[in-house]
Structure 1
Amino acid sequence: MSSGEVPRGVCSGTKLSVLMSCLVCVMCVSIWLVLNHKTHDDESLRKEFKEKKAKLRNTGVLIGQMIQKRRLKIQDFKHSLELSKEEAERELKGCVELFTALKETVESRQAELMDTMKEKQRETEEQAEGFIKELQQDISELTKRGSEVEQLSRSEDHPHLLRSFSSLNAIPHTKFFTDVHIFLPLYDVTVRTGLKKLSKEMKKMFALSILKRYQQYEVDVTLDPQTAHPKLILSDDGKQVTHGDVEKNLPDHPERFDSCPCVFAKQSFSAGRFYFKVTVSGKTKWDLGVAGASISRKGIVSLRPQKGCWMISLRNNNDYSARAGPAVSLSLRSRPQKVGVFVDYDEGLISFYDVDTADLIYSFTGFSFTEKLFPFFSPSPNHGGKNSAPLIISHID
């Protein structure tokens, strides 16, 4: 039978009906496929739209947090600048008091020092103002981007949102001075240079003025019994420590020294400046200084900077040394009865002074501290009573 012929027993009307039915089926399937594909595309677009709106909202939150951090940093800079101005005023006042007591021969040096101090203050102000200006620019840019992101995140214009998403979702490149700080300058080096050619009396006046400035940072230090070696005896007020012959039965806390007769202060410092003074008279042996929180409390304590300790020591009644690793022998004009310890954490400076003469005993310089520093004391063994005198932390006047 040819392709155009009607099968036997089937009329031509029936053939037409079959063909029409097939054609309708094909059209239905085609329409279904088109409609189903369109529905699938719409669902994908809606899903993508919701996801990008959520990402934009998150971006807006992140930008808001960045703005807040920068505002807080500006406050920090402004506060540091205020402290810097106060410090400069104190330094200038001290210098005026010092130089008014000197003769006409030092007036030229006084003017030079004043100019240097003012220049340092001017540089500090310019630095702070520069940081603040850049942070304000950051805030302006971020505020503008935040507004655009907020507006776009509320938009129902799908094509516009999709076109703008990549450019607005990216965080603008800005500078944020997270680790930048304004350090308050010390002027003792400049002053020391200006007075180095003056007489002993003038040097004495200067040394006293320096120590007086450091003493402005004096803190109330008390001993921590939780860290004390079991043979150490602490006074009730936490200001004195001696070495006893009997080892007390004390809990072996991780913080407690178990071999060396040492004790930490309760107070710790992780920024800024602090000063404390200790009476050492009547002793033949002692160690004094500051140490990092992570130093080993068990076994022999290595008193050197490489192990987190910055100390000076007395041995054999008159052998003074700085435990600089190796030890540095110190030649002192007189036997200190009271030692002052000054620490500038940010500048990496630890200095020891003879409080009575204002002489500098020794300075550790150029260090970068990364942990809390604790005042550290060791009265050393009493050697049958020969070294039984206590180390006494001074009360704040």
Structure 2
Amino acid sequence: MGTPGVTQPVRVLPDMAAAGRVLSEDQFLCSICLDVFTDPVSTPCGHNFCKSCISQHWDNKENYQCPMCKEHFYTKPQLKINTLISEMVAHFRHQAQHEPNIYSSDQQAAKPGEVPCDICTEPKLKALKSCLVCLTSYCQTHLEPHLTVSALKRHQLIHPVENLEDRMCRKHDKPLELFCKTDHTCICLFCPVVDHKNHDFVSLRDEYEEQKAELKKTEAEIQQMIQERRLKIQEIQQSVELSKNAADRKTAEGVEVFTTLMDYVQRSLDKFKEKIQEKQRTTEKQAEDFITELEQEICELEKRSTEVEQLSGSEDHHDFVQRFTCVKAAPSMKTWTKVSVRPPSYEGTVERAVSELEDKLTEDMKKVVEAELKRVQQYEVDLTLDPDTAYPTLILSNDRKQVHHGDVKKNLPDKPQRFSLCPCILAKESFSSGRFYFEVQVKGKTDWDLGVARESIMRKGKITLNPQNGYWTIWLRNGNEYKADDSPSVRLSLKSSPQKVGVFVDYEEGLVSFYDVDSSVLIYSFTGCCFNDKLLPYFYPGSKNSAPLIITPVDTE
């Protein structure tokens, strides 16, 4: 039962204005509790109320006034239950509970997971709104008073939610209408007096507006992040497409090169086989000629043998003597003692064929490397040497493009980036992505190291050049010993001493390649490298001569 002057949850019945009815729930509402009459009574002025509602309203009051028309009564009216209205209310309740079509056709029963109307009897309809003042959820029909009654229009309606009792302060049993910024929690109007004294608090609505503004900002940031990631996806897809196009081009180039090489190898093989067969044919022809000549002589000798045999059997002295001289004379024949067929020599035939093939492959390889070198030279970067990293005996040119070893160790500040034991130096520029290329003149040098190194390498004390320690380098010692500082190190066999070395790095591909620029020869490549740090070009000018290492611009002509 409601308390006078305090708004209580409204309990209204479903719409009774269906066809054939003349009464509606509005005619049976107490204007004090806003609920259907319970024990209805009538005042002298003709207005109806619940008996308990009007009685409590007049308790402890000297003046008795009608809550509806404000008429004053000098004495407290004696109230009796209005039996007619009571019977009508009872009939109204009976119809509301038993007639099947009391709900409007567009409303649906609440499904599992949906908020049901707190007023409906079974079946409970799906709630349309929840009231934060009444702490009650209403279907469309039971929500009607909140949309039409002036006092209820001021209530705050929200989308239906469950557990509305969580919106009440458990300690003071009051609505949570404030927000404590100090404790980041919702509180009621009584909480600031004790539990949240001297705390910073605002109304829940103000905090809602503030957080909603922040949420909009967050949403904007999220949308921006989404957009950035979509752009990144496009970028990656474009990179994949570019990579595919590059792969297709490179595959086509490779197929062309290898097809040409295979054709050349096949021609070389055919030529090699033809040479062998030609020698064999020559030998066979010589043998055939000798055999033919020998067979002709055998035939001649057999003829002479027949004549001798005939003469031997003759008893005519005159005839024998006459023919003896002719028969006795030996026929003119070749001396075959020193005649022989020598098998041809095939020694060196395979080696010469392979050498010719190697020369051809070297020639074609040079063309491939020339094309590759021109491609990587497009990634040329302008480098300068960093004096803050230089070992104190090194001497730099004014433009910081040249470095050589000196005999005097200068007194320089021992900066963290300076090498303390090894006479080497790094470039000023660093790289953490993409591709870059630079060339260094090594002409006249008998000792040098070149390559790239991680920015995080140890620079104090003795250093060991290998990828595990963050170095990808090649070097020359004693003027003719070349090695790549891989794990393990690799001895390099070069046909000629490079005068200018090109260094190319593809950071994402994990590739470091070294070229003999003048000869267009690939010296060595580190592949499958994992950098994970900035890379800086690395130089060691050696200490056995004063010829400098010189960073030179790329000659594209």
Which of 309, 329, 340 aligns to 2:491? It is 329
> What is the alpha-carbon distance in structure 2 between the residues aligned to residue 295 and residue 104 of structure 1?
46
1:275 aligns with 2:437: yes
**Alpha-carbon shift at residue 352 of structure 1 (Å):** 1.0
After the TM superposition, which segments of 4 or more aligned residues of structure 1 sit over 3 Å from their partners? Answer: 36-49, 51-59, 74-93, 102-106, 195-200
Match of 2:470 in 1: 308
Name the CA shift for 1:85/1:217 in 2 (closer, same or farther; >3 Å).
farther
Residues 439 and 554, structure 2, Cα contact 8 Å, conserved in 1: no
Q: Distance in 2 between matches of 1:267 and 1:81?
A: 29
1:212 aligned residue (374, 379, 402):
374
Residue 103 and residue 347 in structure 1: after superposition, are their counterparts in 2 closer, same or farther (change >3 A)? Answer: closer
C-alpha spacing 1:319/1:54, structure 2 compared with 1 (3 Å): same
Q: Which residue of 2 aligns with 1:165?
A: none
Say if 2:261 and 2:361, in contact at 8 Å, map to a contact too.
no
User: Residues 220 and 396 of structure 1 are in contact (CA less than 8 Å); yes or no, is this contact kept in structure 2?
Assistant: no
Q: Deviation per CA, 1:10-69, whole angstroms, max 9, x where unpaired?
A: xxxxxxxxxxxxx97xxxxxxxxx9x9564444448639828746744642442232242
Is the Cα contact below 8 Å between 2:377 and 2:554 reproduced in 1? no
Q: 2:513 matched to 1:351?
A: yes
Is 1:393 the counterpart of 2:551? The answer is yes
The amino acid across from 1:327 in the alignment is: S
Q: Structure 2 vs 1, CA of residues 85 and 298 (structure 1 numbering), >3 Å: closer, same or farther? A: same
Query: By how many angstroms is 1:243 displaced?
Result: 0.1
1:139 maps to which residue? none
Aligned counterparts of 1:306 and 1:219: Cα–Cα separation in 2: 26
2:518 maps to 1:380: no
Superposed, 1:67-216 pairs within 5 Å as 67-74=226-233, 76-77=235-236, 80=239, 199-216=361-378
SS of residue matched to 1:389: coil
Q: Report the Cα offset of residue 217 of structure 1.
A: 1.4
Cα deviation, 1:285-323, whole Å, max 9, x if unaligned, reads 111100000111211122111110011111122111111
Identity among equivalent positions (%) equals: 56
C-alpha displacement at 1:104, in angstroms? Answer: 12
Residue 286, structure 1, aligned to residue 448, structure 2: yes
**Structure 2 unaligned runs (5+)?**
1-58, 61-168, 179-186, 189-202, 265-356
Match of 1:20 in 2: none
Quickly say closer, same or farther: Cα 1:77–1:296, change in 2 above 3 A: same
Deviation of 1:214 (Å): 1.4
Q: How far apart are the structure 2 equivalents of 1:336 and 1:41?
A: 84
Aligned equivalents of 2:405 and 2:261: distance in 1? Answer: 50
1:39 to 1:320, Cα distance in 2 relative to 1, 3 A: same
Shift of 1:343: 0.7
Alpha-carbon shift at residue 360 of structure 1 (Å): 1.6
Partner of 1:291: helix, strand, or coil? strand
Residue 204 (structure 2) pairs with residue 47 (structure 1): yes
Scaled by the length of structure 1, the TM-score of the pair is 0.59
1:60 corresponds to: 219
Aligned partner letter, 2:426: F
Q: CA deviation at 1:105?
A: 5.1
Map of 1:243 onto structure 2: 405
Compare CA radii of gyration and give the structure with the larger one: 2
Q: Is the 8 A contact 2:446 2:477 kept in 1?
A: yes
Asked whether 1:262 is paired with 2:424, we answer yes
Cα distance in 2 for residues equivalent to 1:105 and 1:90: 21
Residue type at the aligned position of 2:225: M
Q: 1:287 to 1:47 in 2, by over 3 A?
A: same
Per-residue Cα deviation, 1:185-234 (whole angstroms, up to 9, x for no partner): xxxxxxxxxx9996432222122111121112122222111211111111
Q: Do the aligned partners of 1:290 and 1:375 also contact (CA within 8 Å) in 2?
A: yes
Task: Tell me the equivalent position of 2:503.
Answer: 341
Q: Which residue of 2 aligns with 1:183?
A: none
Cα 1:246–1:273, aligned 2, differ >3 Å: closer, same or farther?
A: same
Q: Deviations for 1:167-194, whole angstroms, at most 9, x for unmatched residues?
A: xxxxxxxxxxxxxxxxxxxxxxxxxxxx
Alignment length (residue pairs): 270
| Match 1:362 to one of 494, 500, 524 | 524
For residues 419 and 404 of structure 2, the distance between their equivalents in structure 1, rounded to whole angstroms, comes to: 15
Amino acid at match of 2:546: S
CA distance in 1, matches of 2:399, 2:176: 79
Distance 2:459 2:263 in 1: 54
Call closer, same or farther: CA 1:42–1:374 in 2, change over 3 Å: closer
Give the aligned residue type for 1:261: P
Separation in structure 1 between the aligned mates of residue 261 and residue 232 of structure 2, nearest angstrom: 46
Q: TM-score, normalised by structure 2?
A: 0.43
Unpaired segments of 5 or more residues in structure 1?
A: 1-22, 25-33, 107-194
Structure 1 counterpart SS, 2:451: strand
Say if 1:86 and 1:265 are closer, same or farther in 2 by CA, change over 3 A. farther
